[in-house]
């Protein structure tokens, strides 16, 4: 059984703890499970924001002009800044290990962001935590 078919797929993802079971189902229903091989760059700096991801398994490096600035893992959102803010990608993201992700189209992500306050809050909290001015 894939992640999206689990009874409560996001219950172990702290960032999404405020979503009701129905909202978890909506979020998971809007995405599709994908895999990414090790060393594959699945988001490229300065490209249009056409998708976002929720990491389920594995580790990924965030690269700014080729230099690693962060490492992401299960429960992290990827690509949300460009989609939310309608701007070019701010970094490249490459798989350090094989990855399992939930892929959201830009349209599906925007719909969830606009309709589900707990999802919007989780996205906004993620972006705020990554901001250079965040404490």
**Structure confidence at residue 30 as a pLDDT band (50, 70, 90):** very high
Residue 2: pLDDT band by 50, 70, 90 thresholds? low
Question: Of 38, 40, 33, 39, whose CA–CA distance to 55 is shortest?
Answer: 33
Around Cβ 80, how many Cβ atoms within 10 Å? 22
Distance CA 42, CA 102 (A): 13
Per-residue pLDDT, 93: 97
- The whole-number pLDDT of residue 6 equals 52
For the 19-127 domain, the top CATH level (class) is mainly beta
Please report which confidence band the pLDDT of residue 4 belongs to, taking 50, 70 and 90 as the band edges.
low
Q: What is the pLDDT of residues 62-90, one digit of tens each?
A: 999 999 999 999 889 999 999 999 999 98
Distance CA 57, CA 90 (A): 23
Which of 5, 26, 15 shows the shortest CA–CA distance to 128? 15
């Amino acid at each position: 059984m894939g992640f999206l078919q689990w009874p409560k797929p996001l219950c172990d993802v702290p960032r999404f703890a405020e979503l009701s079971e129905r909202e978890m189902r909506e979020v998971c229903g809007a995405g599709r499970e994908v895999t990414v091989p090790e060393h594959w760059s699945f988001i490229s700096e300065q490209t249009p924001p056409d998708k976002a991801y929720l990491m389920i398994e594995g580790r990924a490096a965030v690269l700014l002009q080729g230099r690693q600035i962060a490492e992401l893992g299960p429960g992290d959102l990827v690509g949300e800044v460009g989609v939310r803010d309608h701007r070019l990608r701010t970094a490249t993201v490459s798989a350090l290990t094989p990855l399992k992700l939930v892929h959201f189209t830009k349209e599906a992500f925007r719909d969830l962001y606009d309709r589900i306050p707990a999802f919007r809050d989780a996205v906004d909290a993620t972006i705020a935590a990554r901001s250079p001015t965040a404490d």
